[in-house]
Amino acid sequence: VMSSVPPSADQVHVRQLLLYNEDVAKNYYNQLQAGADFDELAAQIDPVTRGDIGWFPRGYITEKAVEDAAFSLEVGAYSAIVPGEVGYHIIKLLDRQSERELSPDALSVMQIRALNDWLATQRQQSSIVLAP
């Protein structure tokens, strides 16, 4: 099952503004709408990573809403505020490539997901009878 996961997939390269307060997120979104530079704001919020999430395929990150937003954008565009489990995200799509090779971590995550999906299907299709 795990070997059936392809080594490459459609992937996006994303930068984010991750904020922990909705009002602060609205303030940053308004700054973007007024012409502020996304990359400069990302560097202010997170000077270490500058908001760079990196490359990822569908099914890799745990925030489904962030994934959906990232895959719906055109290169260079940014999203509206995306509420998530860890905060409020504003996503900018830096690049997109079809059939980009998966990182070792992404491949491992995708293989584990494939195995878990297969196990769930097997359990649903199974009928277990315990003998008295």
Whether the model pTM is above 0.85: no
Average predicted confidence (pLDDT) for the chain:
94
Average pLDDT over residues 103-108: 93
Q: What percent of the chain has pLDDT over 70?
A: 100
Statement: residue 10 has pLDDT above 90: yes
pLDDT in tens, 39-74: 999 999 999 999 999 999 999 999 999 999 999 999
Calculated CA dihedral for residues 72, 73, 75, 76, nearest 10 degrees? -170
pLDDT for residue 81: 98
Cβ partners under 8 Å of residue 114, min gap 6 = 1, 2, 4, 5
Residue 38 token pair? 């996304």
